[in-house]
Chains A and B, each alone.
Chain A
Amino acid sequence: MDMQNLLLMRDEIVLTAILLLMLVAEIIIPQKHKKSLVHFGLILFLIYTIQSFFPQNTGELFGGSYKTYALAHFFKAVLAVGVMTILLQSVEWIEQKLLPYDFTAEFFILIFSSLLGLNFMISAGDFLMFYLGLELSTMPIIALSAFDFYNHRSVEAGIKYVMLASVSSAILLFGVSLIYATTGSIYFEAISGAMHLPLLEIIGLIMIFIGIGFKISLVPFHFWAADVYEGAPTVISNYLSVISKGAAVYVLMTLLFVTFTAFQKEWDYIMYGIAILTMFIGNLFALRQKNMKRFLAFSSVAQAGFILLALLSHDELGVKAIIFFLLIYIFSNVAAFGVVHLISLKAGTENMDDYNGLYQTNPRLSLILMIALFSLAGIPPVAGFFAKFFLYSAAASKGYYLLVFIAVVNVTISLYYYLLPVRAAFLRKSENPIPSIKSDFYSKISFIFIMVGLLVLGLYSGVLEYISQMSNIF
């Protein structure tokens, strides 16, 4: 292995480097200049984001443990952009809540290492790398969700997340050991050649599915989602609902389409049931939420159900639909959570009733909220419509018409609750609406970027063509 080969993992190397630089900066920057750590972290991450768009060779390292190919590289860049917007939105929160306790550098280090774990998970070539990546991505986020130290709710979110995440990863590991017993290898390539489906192997696969389904918050394993999203700081809920969920969906997709192809038939039965359950339960629970963060949590559970539609089609169309949907979903959910974050930081409320009359005092914020929720619901002019459309066509191309019909029924339900905050902001009047909020420079940049992205992705088809060029991962 020479230097040229090692550059295949350029994303991870740069990310590790900026992580270590952050550690050093924490030590050498004197106490009275701690504020500059925020800008330092942002600049470092901007460098990482920009480099992740440069083209990269494809290949594998460490005897097949680490693989990189065009789609994985593209998806890492998408995650980097998502994290960048989240960091931009969180600047003011960091300065208010973390700077006085001197935890700025820790926040950046934890976020970076979690992203590093996700990157390793995406390009894993064996179960060891996959498991290490999964744990590396989960543990910093557990610590971060309990980061609001003197808030009981935040600590409670941390407890719930650490317990349930550990159990789910233990179940996943047991599944991996069963697969190892039947196939005699932990490498994905060797496994996919050696599968002959005894009962033990099917049990193992179901256990692995439970472990990943927990991260995506599919329905029988979704109980943690609402509690953790509500209790954790909003920045972290945002990260959990888009970045870590998106990466887990990507991994599930590659495992399913490339590695466990022998398992396809059994798999489709499970997916069919879970997709229906996830959509209905996510939507019906979202209807009765009054807290905006819980509301967005259940909406993201329902969105996970829609993604499963495309996982039923085992071909390039499915890959294309999933990646495009994740891209749009990251943008729209970051925008929605960003507005909720800003309002909860400045006005101290997360209750939907307090959003009454938001349009009179904050017209721009309510417009952003409206576009984001329309995109999540899938209303035509915004990008979300096309994303959902491709998911349906991927499922319909394999003849799952009934499932598509059920999904459309669910979209109708979801339209109702996505319009509730919009109605509160635009149509309801209020005695004392949320006062006019002046957002800082960084949030403005991130909101403008997301809005442009959402509108461009909805109207311009070049991105979709770019994705479909790379979507042959089989």
Chain B
Amino acid sequence: MIEGVSLFEILSLTTILFFIGVYGFLTRTNLIAMLMSLELMVNAEAVNFVAINKYLSPAILQGQVFSLFIIALAAAETALALAIILHLYRLTENIDVKEVKQLKY
């Protein structure tokens, strides 16, 4: 718990962070940039869980444990995505989503 900062302010911050991530994911065409936006979204959630835990129910550490798992799984997901992106790069020498268009309709 931080002195002088209310939960409302933290949640506003994380919500803004989350939607910056959504915006970035929708507008960027480079796969690495999309992955970074994805990380923003996931990190917003991790902060969310910790803050809610600390402010609203500090007795039980459910939220903090949850955020640890979120961090671990986000890392695993990123590793998997990067592996596939690398493979795509080897095949096509390009990581722009606009070029990934063999499968359509």
Which A residues fall within an 8 A CB radius of B?
Answer: 127-128, 131-132, 135, 139, 142-143, 146, 149-150, 152-153, 155-160, 162-163, 166-167, 169-171, 173-174, 177, 180-181, 184-186, 226-227, 230-231
Contacts and interface: CB of A to CB of B under 8 A. Distances in A.
A171 B76 CA distance: 17
Contacts of A227: 103-104
Contacts of B38: 163, 166-167, 170
B103 A180 contact: no
A152 B102 contact: yes
A132 B73 contact: yes
Contact of B91 (A152, A162, A177, A181): A152
B52 A177 contact: yes
B62 interface: yes
Given A174-B45, A177-B45, 5 more contacts: A135-B73, A152-B91, A156-B100, A166-B38, A170-B45
Contacts of A150: 91
Contacts, number: 103
Interface of B: 11, 18, 21, 25, 31, 34, 38, 41-42, 44-45, 48-49, 52, 56-57, 62-63, 65-66, 69-70, 73, 76-77, 80-81, 84-85, 87-88, 91-92, 97, 100, 102-105
A131 B72 CA distance: 12
Please name the 7 residue pairs, one residue from A and one from B, whose CB atoms are nearest each other, closest first. Answer: A177-B48, A227-B103, A170-B41, A173-B45, A158-B84, A184-B57, A162-B81
Contact of B41 (A149, A152, A167, A186): A167
Contacts of A139: 76-77, 80
A173 B42 contact: yes
Contacts of B31: 159, 163
A273 to B, nearest CB: 23
B84 A159 contact: yes
